[in-house]
Structure 1
Amino acid sequence: MEPTAKLDPMTEAALRSLHEIATPEPVSWLPQTWGWAVLAGALFVMLILAGIRWILHYRANAYRREALSLLPGIAEQLSNPATRPNGIRNLGEVLKRTALAGWSRQEVACLSGDAWVRFLDEHDNDDLGHALERLLNDFEYRGSVLADLPSNVCGDLVVAARNWIERHHVSA
């Protein structure tokens, strides 16, 4: 081993006076100006308002979800020729109940026949209600014709009713 080199006293004193390098404090993630706090507050308020709006929209469309939950049972009734008249009647009832939930009773309760068809057509955003028009104008009042309906027509009725329930527009 090599002997350690002897350092002069000034160098030794300088080396002894050295300390660890002082690292600065980490930079804080907190906003440094009040503008960021205002922006965070505004975003928080907007999130709260969006959540409230979503909850109100969800609650306002509860009648749609209930009506849509009844459609599979009606589709099953329509697929069987023996229960088809009841299925047609139930489909008309679900549509009327849906309309009563969305509009005022004075506006909807008295509608029947052509006025009811016109109401459904006026509030159909996609003009998909032609199968429903046939149902409400012809099939509902002709019991003997119902047993002879092809199954695709019954499927079209359920699809048209589903589309109307999902897409009708209720003005505020």
Structure 2
Amino acid sequence: MEPTTPAHDPMLDATLREMADIALPPAVSMMPATVGWAVVAMVILLALAFALWRWLVHRAQNRYRRDALAELTALEAEIGQPDGRQRALASLPALLKRTALAVWPRDAVAALNGQEWAEFLKSHAGKARLDDAAYRFFSETEYRLPIAASDDAAVRRTISAARQWIEGHDVHP
């Protein structure tokens, strides 16, 4: 059977010509409809700017810690070598004193030595938990090396104590 084509209907042609595309609504704006959303956006931007500013201030205030830790890392590498061990151990108390001088007034720190220096380190230790041997080392080493340079365990404890004090000391008593 052959397909038959339907008869031509003039009324159908006229109706098809009058048809139009579907009317689409206008695109939804991405701008907030009320002022409240703009205020919320501004508050969020201001809070982010304030947080960034505080982080930059904190980073600038703690630059001395990063510098001291970098120097401590260099001393640690030197301690690993037998010929530089004595000099590196002797440099540790000076490193702690320079770290303290970066924060506290010179007249409050520079003249401290011996037991007074150990008490200063204890009173400002903050999160650092050092034993009495470490405080004794840092207070006596300006004049003599109290630990044997061959005692690796004592050397590691001393380096660890210096790192803890630099990282954890409390600036505000």
Same fold (TM over 0.5): yes
Q: Quick one: which amino acid aligns to residue 58 of structure 1?
A: R
1:155 CA drift (Å) = 1.1
Determine the structure 2 residue equivalent to 1:67: 68
Maintained 8 Å contact 1:120/1:129: no
CA distance in 2, matches of 1:34, 1:58: 36
Determine the structure 1 residue equivalent to 2:161: 160
Maintained 8 Å contact 1:67/1:94: yes
1:115 CA drift (Å) = 1.1
Partner SS for 1:87: helix
Q: Which whole-Å deviations, capped at 9, do the CAs of 1:45-88 have from their partners, x for residues lacking one?
A: 11111111111111111111111111123223434555443222
* 1:7 is the counterpart of 2:9: yes
Q: Deviation above 3 Å: which 4+ runs of structure 1? A: 76-85, 137-143, 145-149
Higher mean C-alpha deviation, range 57-66 or range 117-126: 117-126
Maintained 8 Å contact 1:132/1:157: yes
Higher mean C-alpha deviation, range 31-40 or range 85-94: 85-94
Determine the structure 1 residue equivalent to 2:134: 132
CA distance in 2, matches of 1:109, 1:91: 15
Identify which of structures 1 and 2 has the higher relative contact order when contacts are C-alpha pairs closer than 8 Å and 6+ apart. Answer: 1
RMSD of aligned residue pairs (Cα, Å): 2.2
Q: Which whole-Å deviations, capped at 9, do the CAs of 1:2-58 have from their partners, x for residues lacking one?
A: 22333363x443322110111112212211111110111111111111111111111
Maintained 8 Å contact 2:100/2:109: yes
Q: Structure 1 residues 73, 127: closer, same or farther in 2, change over 3 A? A: closer
Maintained 8 Å contact 2:114/2:139: yes
CA distance in 2, matches of 1:142, 1:13: 111
Maintained 8 Å contact 2:118/2:136: no
TM-score when normalising by structure 1: 0.86
> Structure 1: 5+ residue runs without aligned partners?
none
Determine the structure 2 residue equivalent to 1:151: 152
Maintained 8 Å contact 2:90/2:141: no
CA distance in 2, matches of 1:158, 1:3: 98
CA distance in 1, matches of 2:130, 2:37: 52
Determine the structure 2 residue equivalent to 1:118: 119
Partner SS for 1:102: coil
Maintained 8 Å contact 1:81/1:146: no
Maintained 8 Å contact 1:132/1:160: yes
Equivalent positions of 1:97-112 (< 5 A) are 97-112=98-113
Q: Structure 1 residues 15, 82: closer, same or farther in 2, change over 3 A? A: closer
Q: Quick one: which amino acid aligns to residue 66 of structure 2?
A: R
